[in-house]
Amino acid sequence: MLQAGLLAKKALAKGLMTKPYIWTSLSPGSGVVTKYFEASGVNTYLDKLGFTTAGYGCMTCIGNSGSLPEGVQNAIVEGDLVAAAVLSGNRNFEGRVSPNTRANYLASPPLVVAYALAGNVNVNFEVDPVGMDAEGNPVMLRDIWPSRDEVAQVVGQVVTPALFTEFYSNTLTRNQRWNELVAPQGSLFSWTEDSTYIHHPPFFAGMPREAPTTATSINGARCLLSFGDSVTTDHISPAGNIAKTSVAAKWLAENGVAPVDFNSYGARRGNDHVMARGTFANIRLVNKLASRPGPMTKYWPTNEEMPIFEAAAQYIAAGTPTIILAGKEYGSGSSRDWAAKGPYLQGVKAVVAESYERIHRSNLLGMGILPLQYEAGQNADSLGLTGEETFSIDLSGAITVGQTFTVQAGDKTFTAKSRLDTDPEIAYFLNGGILRYVLRKLL
């Protein structure tokens, strides 16, 4: 982080500056970073390049540092441009920093500054200049790259144990506004129906006290979504700002929330109405059932293309279960509980995929969604599945670890392996998910 600040200092000394169409953001992992930035003075140089601290933690890497400038955003959309993001975080999938970025890369903090100065990711810093100085001479990255000795000297001066001790000693008293909040008393939370932030979730609605001993077969299910490979939890889970044209935004507006107050999915993760509508809302989602990328699908009973949530709601109202078809590495990326809770609220009963990300598979069964895996070498395309079929899966009888089930898809039949990999996972699934399992244990 300090090397990035020193790079900014050297770049400014050479007369380099970020272009006006380059969007920059800074959200350190800790407030201590701000302290040693201030102690070293590098914050002033980062500020001049647009890297002003706007928040902390996951703010930037989850898309909460604001929208792209309107002119830039319009140019990307109208020109169908492939815009790129460079992030010094730990994950950067398509559309994560901004829904308008398709090409996304991870780099060290100083390289993020370097790419911002270059204004282009299609550069080779060994031979291409970062920019031009005041006299029009090319400036190479090696000309402004801080040496290890320079960085070590500054680190030794400003990164001290006392800085951390001082900062974290007043964690519980630092935020006066937080400390002045009046919290309700009592052992039970006071749910209010008019809150658009916190709502009583329906995860236990209609739950009998005793767990079922057998699973409910899936009959007459329709395909809600059909995916290719590498659909991530960023595509599935509600994340980032709530787009003003989204289904979630429509619900908020209907409930008296002004667009300026829509906030983010992260801020409203306590409201299932918002989160269910934000599931699969990623504008880069590629669903084979839709004519273009985005949160759309085909509602088979009418052959109408509509928002995914609206189709799911119509299936639920009709009592029709739904499934998802997917390719390899379904659910890769960050582990997110809402990537499983959202599909559950949308009525999804099973996913059939070529392979799963380990934790997402666990999260799916933890919400009572059955994870099935195609036989080796098979997928929806090889089996000739279009998604238009009606699906049935016989789950009667005792369920065992790694059991093979027969799936009836229209006039086609194929087998798929259950990814209930352990006996406890079978117990979670039979309970309708781990939440119900734990509640029954408490009772």
pLDDT in tens, 174-233: 888 998 998 888 988 889 999 999 999 999 999 999 999 899 999 999 999 999 999 999
What is the domain count for the chain?
Answer: 2
Same domain, 107 and 231: no
- Is 183 within the bounds of a domain? no
Cα gap 324→228, rounded to integer Å: 11
Beta-sheet strands, E only, within 288-435: 296-299, 304-307, 322-325, 348-353, 370-374, 390-393, 404-409, 412-418
Cα gap 331→158, rounded to integer Å: 41
Task: Report the chain's mean pLDDT, rounded to a whole number.
Answer: 93
Name the CA radius of gyration of the chain, rounded.
25
- Is 197 within the bounds of a domain? no
Per-residue pLDDT tens over the stretch 339-353: 999 999 999 999 999
The last residue of a domain, from among 169, 194, 212: 169
Owning domain of residue 112:
2-169
pLDDT score recorded for residue 243: 84
Same domain, 275 and 150: no
Q: Do 410 and 403 meet the contact criterion of CB atoms below 8 Å apart?
A: no
Same domain, 107 and 227: no
pLDDT score recorded for residue 301: 97
Cα gap 123→111, rounded to integer Å: 12
Same domain, 67 and 206: no
The last residue of a domain, from among 118, 150, 169: 169
Number of helices followed by number of strands (H, E) in the chain: 17, 13
Same domain, 146 and 224: no
Per-residue pLDDT tens over the stretch 59-103: 887 777 777 888 998 999 899 899 999 999 887 777 778 878 889
- pTM for this model (two decimals): 0.84
How large is the average pLDDT for residues 268-287? 94
Residue 123 has pLDDT above 90, yes or no: yes
Residue 320 has pLDDT above 80, yes or no: yes
Same domain, 34 and 98: yes
Cα gap 421→401, rounded to integer Å: 5
User: Sign of the C-alpha dihedral, residues 267, 271, 274, 275?
Assistant: positive
pLDDT score recorded for residue 375: 97
Beta-sheet strands, E only, within 186-273: 218-226
Cα gap 146→6, rounded to integer Å: 6
- Is 178 within the bounds of a domain? no
Q: What is the CATH number of the domain that holds 115?
A: 3.30.499.10
- The more confidently predicted of residues 77 and 39 is 39
